[in-house]
Structure 1
Amino acid sequence: MLNKISAALVATLLTTSALSAQDITLHADIGPTAGSNVVDVSKYEAKRDGSYIVGFSNVAVFNSWAAQLVEEAAYRASTLSQVKRYIVTDANGDPSKQVADIEDMLAQGADAIVVNPTNPVALVPVLEKAYDDGVVVVVVTADANTDKVTARIMADQVKFGVDGGQFLVDAMGGEGKVIALRGIAGLSVDDDRFNGAADVIAKGGDMEIIAEEYAAWSYDQGRQACESLALAHPKIDGVWSSGGAMTQACVEVFNEFGRDLVPMTGEANNGFFRTWKENQNKGFDSIAPQNPTWAVGEGIALAVAILEGQEVYDYYAVTAAPYTAEDLDALYRPDLNDSYWVGSTLPEEKLQALYGN
């Protein structure tokens, strides 16, 4: 438990096994996967001048997690002296806009593009064009269905779902009815999480997912979804959730409806941790898988490392472990508000400015 906590609290840019003795290092909680390959950095030698234009194409700022992700990425870019210009765009969930955003970055002479895709298929042509034109392309968080990218940094979203699903199987004794709060339809992140959970639950005994609702990983939509599901289903024995803000809302809904709290899966969010702690005296328990907000920032660092000719790999996995009740006291930040996502790499003064109570 101590190692797990320290990895989150000391979320610095200290080390990585992948970038040995080089100027740029990656977060300690990512590492190359077993099947990853060393990137051929020689193809970017013509760009190697120590001064780069780097773009980040974001899917959308649809909740507090995405808002912190944007802040972390901008901060990480600011720590890299090689980034002479940093461009960030927001597709507002629209694949066609994201394609146009990336095309505009290319027109502005971007040396590298880090992308969090809106859709695994729609972006393939523009990403492949960028790659073929010698631009470093790093895909982060959600995936794209093409091999023509330079590198990837991915959380194991299937494991996110599996960890939550297994928690429910254990907490519910392998029997009962489960509702599911999902993220955004069509995004690989949500599909992978849900499929991982559903597979475990299906094998867990006499358990059934009786209903599901999409709520965009947001508190407000999660509240509406949970209210609707709770009204429609008088018997709910467990809640699987694709995100902590939705779980926080669902706990509050159950309390307001006078329903007994059931096991629910969450995420490493300060607001959810607060709600978890406040309801422990009612017997509430959960698990909090991580999908770190710093991953895109590390994608920017990885892109610059590639441009600089460092030895890196083409596939990194986020290895951060899920949190349990044993971690709550050490990780919950009562001095920060509910929007803070645990494990940030932002400096303390920035955290206080953004989230201080």
Structure 2
Amino acid sequence: MPELRHLKGAALAGAALLMGMSSIASAGNDTSGKKIAFSNSFAGNSFRQVMVKSWESGTEAAKAAGVIGDAAVISANNNATEQAAQMQNLILEGYDAIVINAASPTALNGVVKQACDAGIVVVAFDGVVTEPCAYVVNYDWKRVGSSQVDYLSKRLGGKGTLLEVRGIAGNSVDDDISNGVHEALTAFPDTKIAGSVHGDFTQTVAQREVAGILPSLPKIDAVVTQGGDGYGTAQAFAAANRDEPIIIMGNREDELSWWKEQHDKNGYETMSISATPGVSMVAFWVAQQILAGKEVPKFVGVPFLRIDQPDLDAWLSVTEKGGVTNPTYTQEWVSQLIEANAKHADLPAIPAPTK
């Protein structure tokens, strides 16, 4: 298992990535002249910003090692039409593979099919597409919702009143996490959702939207979230002089720091679960391996990073101020991930870091 450390610039990322290249970089077809682009739907929150940083640092290291010839990243403004136009430009520019984090699961299908028809490898991740020619690197997002409900059922004894803070309306991740929450709640009829808002995966939006709905809500025992919204939610409850509920966190530094502060002060406990921004590099390595001739299943599942109370200090210590907890995914680790998916075996673990 490769060493895990927070991505703090190209130097550290490059060193970690190069450590994982030696055993398999020469296998398969030569990709040293290949170009891989990243079409990103938006970069408007801390998670997406670290995602782009991971891509830039990781692909620079891959270029320096001679694994690929070039890489690029271009972000739209959460607008599917704009993203489709950007992808058409990437097709015309002759990229060999396009990694896409889509603004819509269906609106990009046409341009994705154009890319596939032009012989371009398309790998969708996070915000995926339904066009069958694309490879998909993704999480079982429903598990984010169901894991929160399972945790809270134990903490609350199967009874309680919840607030749901969702992501961006219309986003496939938002729909899947929310569906996971609601499906899991059918096993706990005495646990009810009193209200729901969209926090757009962003602390400031979540704080504003939660503050707006709180006056109409009864006592809230816990808050189910989607990532990037836990700290803003906590601030809204504090500003309204409401009791602190159990707020599920999403691996952001401000969330983890607030959690630690509350735990040190009064024993507050919760859990944190999220995708990792470095999943952009998982998608990159999947694209590179396909170009190298590796047999890759159409769907490559990725494990979530979950942080529980015993691991809080360790993960917080390697999370950059204002950032998101982010392991480094090497080519070697992703090769293991591909093999595990192909064999329907257990996915390689993301262990807690050690100092």
CA positional deviation for 1:76: 1.5
Unaligned runs of 5+ in 1: 26-40, 348-357
1:52 corresponds in structure 2 to 34
1:181 corresponds to: 165
* Bigger relative CO (Cα 8 Å, ≥ 6 apart): 1
Q: Tell whether the 8 Å contact from 2:17 to 2:61 is kept in structure 1 after alignment.
A: no
Identify the residue that residue 355 of structure 1 maps to in structure 2: none
Is this contact kept in 2: 1:172–1:263, CA < 8 A?
no
Structure 2 unaligned regions, length at least 5: 8-15, 331-355
**1:346 Cα shift?**
9.2
Inter-partner Cα distance in structure 2 for 1:14 and 1:327:
27
**3-state SS in 2 of match to 1:153:** strand
The TM-score with structure 2 as length reference comes to: 0.82
Q: 1:267 — aligned with what? A: 250
- Distance in 2 between residues matched to 1:147 and 1:176, nearest whole Å: 41
Query: 2:216 and 2:4 mapped to 1: Cα distance?
Result: 38
Residue 275 of structure 2 contacts residue 305 of structure 2 at CA under 8 Å; is this kept in 1? no
Separation of aligned partners in 1, 2:4 and 2:270: 18
The offset of 1:323, in angstroms, is 1.2
Q: Relative to 1, partners in 2 of residues 1:7 and 1:232: Cα closer, same or farther, differing over 3 Å?
A: farther
Matched, 1:63 2:45: yes
The equivalent position to 1:108 in structure 2, one of 81, 93, 96, is 93
Q: For 2:111, what is the secondary structure of its paired residue?
A: helix
Q: 1:293 & 1:273 partners in 2: Cα distance? A: 16
Identity, % of aligned pairs?
Answer: 24
AA aligned to 1:266 is: M
The aligned amino acid for 2:129 is: A
Encode CA deviations 1:143-170: one digit per residue, 9 max, x unaligned. Answer: 2112111x22102211111111212222
**Alpha-carbon deviation of 1:185?**
0.6
2:324 counterpart of 1:322: no
Correspondence list, 1:88-167, <5 A: 88-149=73-134, 151-167=135-151
* Conserved 8 A contact 1:59-1:93: yes
- Residue 270 of structure 1 contacts residue 341 of structure 1 at CA under 8 Å; is this kept in 2? yes
Measured after TM superposition, the shift of residue 253 of structure 1 is 2.2
Change (3 A) 1:287 1:49: closer
* Matched-pair contact (CA < 8 Å) for 1:185–1:214: yes
SS of equivalent residue, structure 2 residue 282: helix
Match in the other structure for 2:152: 168
Distance 1:176 1:137 in 2: 44
TM-score (norm 1): 0.82
Q: For structure 1, which segment, 96-105 or 200-209, has the greater mean C-alpha deviation from structure 2 after superposition?
A: 200-209
Aligned to 2:25: 23
Q: Which runs of 4+ in 1 moved over 4 A?
A: 6-16
Q: What are the Cα deviations for residues 99-147 of structure 1, in whole angstroms up to 9, with x where unaligned?
A: 1010000011111100001101101111111112210111111221121
Distance 1:314 1:197 in 2: 27
Alpha carbons 1:178, 1:211 under 8 Å: kept: yes
Aligned-partner Cα distance in 1 for 2:183–2:210: 22
Which position in structure 2 is the counterpart of 1:237? 221
